[in-house]
Each structure stands twice: as structure tokens, then as C-alpha cells.
Amino acid sequence: MGSTFEQVWETYQREGIRYLAKELYLTSRCKSIAAAERYNRRYNHWRSGTDFNTNGISIFDEDWDNLIILDACRYDRFAKLHDFDGNLESRISRGSKTWEFIRANFRNEKRYDTVYLTDNPWYSKLADELKSELYHYELMEQDSFDGTVTHPKTATNAAIEYTTRFDDKRCIIHYYQPHEPYFTEDGAELHRMEATCPARLRHRGYTREDIVGAYESTLSLVLEELPRLLDHIKGKTVITADHGELLGDRMKPIPLKTYEHPEGVYVDELVCVPWFIVDYDDRKEIVESEEPAEIFTPDESEIEEQLQDLGYL
């Protein structure tokens, strides 16, 4: 208690009463939103009776040879920005955050006909807990934003090589975009989200239009990269998302506005995801092996470090 008072007093002496009053207001607003996120998560998990969205689909029950996951891709923004040939449908995701999606789809799954290349390390973190086994799993090399994420161009290069190696398996390719940190449409690093609280973001000079623009430029960048991969891979390919994104939208049941994708909040902006079936001619001949190509042994320290760098821990 004394330490908090000392910090407030030092801030008052350094910045003055108006700055202090503004900071206290912003802190109060952000704490209210965080409390609403916790309540909404607990309420929705209580309603579902488990730790994921039971109204969502299992990706392994769906028909695909290649599944391209765009992290945090909203259905409405995908529909607005894509220009691929195929059929756009929608699905309901089992999670509003990646770890929910992973837990709900991979728990107790032994899939020796499936390989997974990803820029998101949550499967690495959870595979042992979930008793999940795939034929092969690989985490991409991160080369952007101080080594925390993979540039979409780098990810596509890796995906082309990966799908060549495993052309008789169901391939999951998981891009980190359009999740923040954000890029320009030309591929340059733009900025990271400094907060999820709308009041805090406004105070730091970001409008909702700024955030939406950054999100859409990042989505446009990764969509521009996908034709190179689609020209290369064969079989039935589906483009989807693990979850959507709040862009100043309201949560439920406590309807406060926020950004990003709080866990356990099952509004349409977060769980209604694109399910785009790319036009195709022939199917893959999928081979299920009797055992995995290698036993996956995650480097716990590296995974923890990357999750911390991404702001998850």
C-alpha cells in the first residue's frame, strides 16, 4: 500500500495534478475492461461447461487437404479484402484466443496423417498437456519485430518447402498475421499494439481508424502472399482463422468495448471465422503413417521466451 502511495506521490510531484488525474482515470477505465473480460470469460465457460466454445467446429471433422490459418482474421475483413477464386463460407471457432483453439481442437488427437507448420508457439506449449501427436510439427523461424514473429514472405517460403516435403499429408500452415504486431501493405514493420483499452489507446494518440487501418494493411499483406503458396500446393485447400479480432467492438454479456481477442468471449467478431474453399481440380492422396516422423520435444525455455515477447505471458 505504501509503495503504491509513494508511486502516486512521485508522479504528482513530477507531472502535476492534471497528469495524475488523467492517469488515475485511465487506470480505472482499463481495470474495468479487464474485470469485464474476466467476468465474460467465466460466464461463457460456465455456460458451455468447459474451457472452450462448444458451438464451434472441430477442424479435424472438416474436409480439407491443406488448412491455411490466418491468426486473428475476422470474417468481415477477409470478405472485404480477398480476391481468390473459390467459395467463401463461414465457420464458428471453438475459441476466441489461440490457446483455446489449440486446446479444443488438438486435445487427445493422434493424427499421423497431419503435419503442422506454424508461427504461433501455442501448440508447442500445450502438446504434452493435451496428449496430442501429429506426424510432424515445426515452428517457423521468426525474423521480424526483433525476432518475435515471422514475416509473411518468409512464412510463405517456409510453407512451400514444407508442403513439398509432406505432399502426402494433410498440411496445416499457420500464419501469425493479421494478428499484431502490424505491417504496412508493402511489408515494412509498422507498430505493435501498446494497449487493448480504448481509453489508453486514445490517450497515446491512436484512433480506432488507426488500429483498423493497421489491421487491414497487415491482412492485405498476408493475402498478397498466399497466391504463391496456392500456386504451389495441390489438393483441397481451405483458408480460415483460429479466431477473429475485436476492433473497438463490444464484448458480451458485459458490453464494454475493447481490442484484440480476450479469452472466452464468444461474440461474432471473435468466433465467426472465414472458411474459404479455394478452387481445386484434384485431391491429395493422404497417407496415414503408423508412427510420427519424430518425437516432438519442445524447448520450454525458448517457448516461454517467445510467448513473453509476444505479450502472452
Residue of 163, 139, 123 whose CA lies nearest to 284: 163
Residue 293, phi then psi, degrees to nearest 5: -65, -30
CATH number at 226 reads 3.40.720
C-alpha cell at 95: 475459441
Q: Examine residue 59 and state whether it is found in any structural domain, yes or no.
A: yes
Residue of 248, 176, 256 whose CA lies nearest to 218: 176
Instruction: Please report the pLDDT score of residue 308 as a whole number.
Output: 73
Instruction: Please report the pLDDT score of residue 24 as a whole number.
Output: 67
CB atoms within 10 A of CB 46: 10
Total tally of structural domains belonging to the chain: 1
Q: What Å distances lie between residue 205 and 23, 194, 201, 208, CA to CA?
A: 15, 11, 6, 10
pTM > 0.75: yes
Residue of 101, 276, 97, 70 whose CA lies nearest to 177: 70
Q: Examine residue 187 and state whether it is found in any structural domain, yes or no.
A: yes
Q: Examine residue 42 and state whether it is found in any structural domain, yes or no.
A: no
Q: Examine residue 284 and state whether it is found in any structural domain, yes or no.
A: yes
- Domain containing 152 equals 48-309
Per-residue pLDDT tens digits of the chain, which is 313 residues long: 455 445 544 543 455 555 545 666 678 878 889 999 999 999 999 998 999 999 999 999 999 999 999 999 999 999 999 999 999 999 999 999 999 999 999 999 999 999 999 999 899 889 889 999 999 999 999 999 999 999 999 999 999 999 999 999 999 999 999 999 999 999 999 988 877 888 888 888 889 999 999 999 999 999 999 999 999 999 999 999 999 999 999 999 999 999 999 999 999 999 999 999 999 999 999 999 998 987 666 667 777 777 777 766 6
Q: Examine residue 242 and state whether it is found in any structural domain, yes or no.
A: yes
Instruction: Please report the pLDDT score of residue 167 as a whole number.
Output: 94
Instruction: Please report the pLDDT score of residue 6 as a whole number.
Output: 55
Q: Examine residue 8 and state whether it is found in any structural domain, yes or no.
A: no
Q: Examine residue 33 and state whether it is found in any structural domain, yes or no.
A: no
Q: Examine residue 305 and state whether it is found in any structural domain, yes or no.
A: yes
